[in-house]
Amino acid sequence: MTRYRLTVEYDGGPFMGWQRQPHGPTVQQAIEEAVAAITGEKVVLHSAGRTDAGVHALAMAAHCDIAKAVTPFRLSEGLNARLRPLPVAVLKAEVVAGDWHARFSCIGRRYRYRIVNRRAPLTLEAGRAWQVTVPLDAGAMHEAAQGLVGRHDFTTFRSIQCQAESPVKTLDRLDVRRAGETIVIEADARSFLHHQVRSMVGCLQLVGRGKWSAADLEGALEARDRAALGLNAPPDGLYFAAAVYPDDETPKPKTR
């Protein structure tokens, strides 16, 4: 039995999320079925994260165990052939140690959120970014975001469906930058609560519009109450950007 690590890119639009669901297509199901078609084996695919419906990935890390002898190159080529025309691509396949685990070996995760700040409708970016038509102050958003960095109780920014044992997380980085009409928010942490990034982005958007101040954002955090949340951003602009492992080089997520 050989353990393979897969690096996966996908458009989350057509899927109910990463994890298998009884009521619709998922990325996990699509890849597991592709592996079965190639190898004749039923496998379980484990991932570094579980993205919601409509959320995308630039480099999701996953693994599965396969008994059949197959080279990493042939595996990735075969999977990509079987996955067409679904918007899922295996960027890389590699053999890893038998005790390597996509979820439990992961020591850091990076999410990226993209806002297109313009009045004209989205065409090429439709479904892949959140359109905000009123002007946003990215500098004010970045300054306010620094109040969320560090170890906090993020109950306010946690979905009521979150299954994490504790709402306390350490946010290592939350940066906001503008490039033309695009505003990019990047968040780094060992792990995140369900909807944490989308909830933080939604509130930062209120800061950018001038409806909230940095003090309002800090007050929402300190409230430790989901009712204090200003806004939950839509899934369209959210991307799982990178998973970090002890033996990896510093990840270099794509710039979009």
52 is catalytic: yes
Amino acid at 18: W
Tell me which of 52, 137, 153, 175 is the catalytic residue. 52
Tens of pLDDT, residues 142-191: 999 999 999 999 999 999 888 899 999 999 999 999 999 999 999 999 99
Element of type H or E holding 189: strand 182-189
The answer to whether residue 64 is domain-embedded is yes
Contacting residues for 58 by C-beta, under 8 A, at least 6 apart: 9, 112, 239, 240, 241, 242, 253, 254, 256
Q: Would you state the pLDDT for residue 161?
A: 87
100 burial (CB, 10 Å; 0-12 / 13-18 / 19+) is: middle
Task: State percent of the chain over pLDDT 70.
Answer: 97
Could you tell me the CATH number of the domain that includes residue 32? 3.30.70.580
Could you tell me the CATH number of the domain that includes residue 113? 3.30.70.660
Shared-domain flag, residues 127 and 183:
yes
Output the pTM of the full model.
Answer: 0.93
Alpha carbon 16 to its chain centroid, in Å, reads: 14
Structure tokens belonging to residue 108? 């850091």
Tens of pLDDT, residues 54-83: 999 999 999 999 999 999 999 999 999 999
The answer to whether residue 126 is domain-embedded is yes
Q: Which domain holds residue 142?
A: 108-244
Q: Would you state the pLDDT for residue 249?
A: 60
The answer to whether residue 26 is domain-embedded is yes
The answer to whether residue 199 is domain-embedded is yes
Question: Rounded distance, CA 90 to CA 256, Å?
Answer: 19
The answer to whether residue 160 is domain-embedded is yes
Shared-domain flag, residues 40 and 113:
no
Shared-domain flag, residues 153 and 88:
no
The answer to whether residue 256 is domain-embedded is no
Alpha carbon 62 to its chain centroid, in Å, reads: 13
43-77 as b/e, with b when 16 or more CB fall inside 10 Å?
A: bebbbbbbbbebbbbbbbbbbbebeeebebeebbe
Question: Rounded distance, CA 233 to CA 194, Å?
Answer: 13
Shared-domain flag, residues 66 and 167:
no
In the chain, the number of structural domains is: 2
Beta pairing partners, 174: 187
DSSP 147: G
